[in-house]
Structure formats: C-alpha cells, structure tokens
Amino acid sequence: MILTERLAELAVDFGANVQPDQILFVTAEVGHEELVRAIAAHAYRKGARFVDSWYFDPHVKRARIEHADDDTLDYVPPWYGERMLALGEQRCARLFVTGSTEPHLFDDADPARAGRDLLPRLKETGQIVNDRTTNWSIVPFPNSGWAGVVHPDLSAEAALERLRAEMAHVLRLDEEDPVAAWHERFQRTARAAEALRERRFDAIHFEGPGTDLTVGLLPSSRWQNATFSTADGLDHRPNLPSEEVFTTPDPERAEGVVRATKPLVFADGSVVRGLTVRFEGGRAVEIDADEGAANLRTRCEKDEGALRLGEVALVDRKGRIGRLDTVFFDTLIDENAASHIALGNGFSFGVDDEADLARVNESAIHVDFMIGGDAVDVTGVTREGAHVPVLRQGAWQI
C-alpha cells in the first residue's frame, strides 16, 4: 500500500500535475483498481472536481478478436473519440496506467485480427497531445500477471515483490524526495537535449547488430526531454519513468534496416518478438519478426502515415532502467531503457518552424519500439556530411 500511495501522489502531483477544480480522466486495465482508487482519493484531496475512471478489459477484446465478424474489427464507437476530444476542450487532466494484467491472453490469438483492433488506443489521443489541451501522464502499476512475465523463474509472490522493488527504484520512489530526484534527472536530460539542438543534425544514424539505419530530421526538428507544457502553460511529465530525449523526424527520410533490441508490447498486452523493419524513402517496406509480425503489419495498414516515422528518441545508460538489465515487457518502461523510434503519428510541437508543421507525419497509430543498447552506436550526421559520435556504449559523446 505504501508503494501505491506514493505512486498515486507522484502521478497526480508531478506527472499529470492535476489542478484544483480540474476533471481527471484515468484509463486503466481491470486489475489496476488499487492504484486507480488511490489516484482518485489523492486527486479529490487536492481539489479535483471529478475523477472519471475507465477500465479496459483485455478479456472482452480477446472475445472480439476470436468471435466478431471480420468486417467489424476496425469499428470504434464514435463517442470514444468524442469523449477524448471533449477532455481537451474542457482542459482536463489525464492519467493512463500500464502493466498488463493478462500478458499471455493474446499469445494464441490470430495476430492479423488482433492488429485490426487498436483499443485501448484512440486516434483522437494523438490530436489532443499535439493540440496540448490536456496535462497528462502514464505510470506503471506492478501486478501479479505482469510480474510473472518479467520474472518467470520466481514464485508468484517473489516475482511481484521483485517487480514492486524495481518499479519503486525506476520511479525514484525509494528516494526521500522523489520529486526532487526527478527534477535532477530531468535537468540532465534537458542538457542533453540542448546539446543536440545546438548541433542541428541533418540525420541520426544507428549502427549495431542487425541495424544500419539513417533517420533524417526536419530543418527545425527540436530535441527535448519529456517535460511538457500545455497550450495554457501548465507543466506536466507525460511518462513516469522517463529517461529519453526525442524529436520529430522527417517522415520521408528513413533508409536502411533496423532490428529491435527488446520485444514490442502493445497497450493490449500482445507481443512482437524479434522485430526487423527495412525502410526505403522513409517508408517501412518490410516488417518481419520471429513472432507477431502480422499484428504490427495490420496496424500499419491503418493509413499511409502508419508506415513512416513520427519519433526518434535517444536514451543513455545513466538512467535507472537500463542498468537493471531487465526486459519489462511494457513499452513505457522498456522505451526508457533504450533508444527507440516510433511508427506513425508525429509530434507537431517537436518542430520550431511553422514551415515544417505540414511535414510532420500524421497517422492513427503511434508505435514505439526499442532499437538501442550498448552495442548500438548512435551518430549525428551534419548537413555538410560530417559524422559526429552521439552515443557510444550508451554514453553521451556530446
């Protein structure tokens, strides 16, 4: 309970930065009730007007994938998107809880059918993120189902205890003042982002086992860490934990092949392992995997932008997650252990020049997958063609 209470306080006060008289919308899986209730209690103590909890049940999605008519799998009730847009219009706060409670539920599901249904993700979420109309955050909550996947060699009780301790560590809840510890870390990632902005690289090159990929940047692509501000000037931190610096790439300039260094886990808990993607002219022309490739391929059929990049992010080895050398099977955690790229929707606030806004990728999806690690060199390419070391063995070189 102590972890739950401290996490709820961090999520409400520092992550989403919920304000008095705000509406707070909380999205979670069935099985996350303990944290959601603690979030609600703390938000109300802080003066929230209303806390709206919405639970995603993966078993209901599994039933749909298994039994629904094929031509209905893309359908999303319109009021789902209307509600998301209304949250932006009313300047609400949002929290999303991760940590799959049923991580094996989709193991034997048809991956192509699973990829047709994007829930709990909604395309309208990308719109309000780019419009910067809500203050929001994503936080993980340890549970028995998730713990069993991360630590399969331990007993159920020991696995959950281990995962709780790891989450307390990576969330800096083991510090006397977690918020102060996070401010210190964000200051470091802010300095890294500033160093990258000053270089104004034309492209970023990744090279390592199975990877030789060049990602072009827009003329005004702006590197930043995960400290956001709403259109009304309210600061919030969209990911806790967060160890990354990121920017919006040029969706027409990605060339080469990349091999994922960690499994890709979707919001519904389904997994893609051993992912390899080849790009030509900015477009993913081949998507292969040891497991689950059809799931990602189907998601990438949503629109033309789904096959292009919307984000490139760099992560150094000074963060707490990578040093644990654990695969957490949760994209929120794993993407902050290793550099990554995202297929799909880009961030309009990731460019400085209005002229580049029209070039930012647009899509109904945003799928992050991890491509970095100590064995992957990251190099900045200048507009004159010079190559500048950026990350070597996970350490900043700039």
pLDDT, tens digit, for every residue of 145-168? 999 999 999 999 999 999 999 999
What CATH homologous superfamily does 2-170 map to?
Thermophilic metalloprotease (M29) (3.40.1830.10)
pLDDT of residue 44: 98
**Segments making up each domain of the chain, as ranges:** 2-170, 192-396
Q: Is the pLDDT of residue 257 over 90?
A: yes
The average pLDDT across 266-273 equals 89
Residue 41, pLDDT above cutoff 90:
yes
What's the average model confidence in pLDDT over 188-201?
A: 96
Tens of pLDDT, residue by residue over 63-95, are 999 999 999 999 999 999 999 999 999 999 999
pLDDT at residue 267, rounded to an integer: 84
| Confidence tier at 372 by pLDDT (50, 70, 90) | very high
pLDDT (mean) for 91-109: 95
pLDDT digits (tens, 9 = 90+) for 119-149: 999 999 999 999 999 999 999 999 999 999 9
For the cut 80, the answer to whether the pLDDT of residue 343 exceeds it is: yes
SS3 annotation, the chain: CHHHHHHHHHHHHHHCCCCCCCEEEEEEECCCHHHHHHHHHHHHHCCCCEEEEEEECHHHHHHHHHHCCHHHCCCCCHHHHHHHHHHHHCCCEEEEEECCCCCCCCCCCCHHHHCCCCCCCCHHHHHHHHHCCCEEEEEECCCHHHHHHHCCCCCHHHHHHHHHHHHHHHCCCCCCCHHHHHHHHHHHHHHHHHHHHHHCCCEEEEEECCEEEEEEECCCECCEECCEECCCCCEECCECCCCEEEECEEEEEEEEEEECCCCEECCCCCEEECCEEEEECCEEEEEECCECHHHHHHHCCCCHHHHCEEEEEEECCCCCCHHHCCCCCCHHHHCCCCCEEEEECCCHHHECCHHHHCCCCCCCCEEEEECCCCCCEEEEECCCCCEEEEEECCEECC
How large is the average pLDDT for residues 293-315? 96
pTM of this prediction?
Answer: 0.92
What percent of the chain is modeled with pLDDT above 70?
A: 100
Q: What is the mean pLDDT of residues 175-201?
A: 96
Residue 1 is predicted with a pLDDT of 62
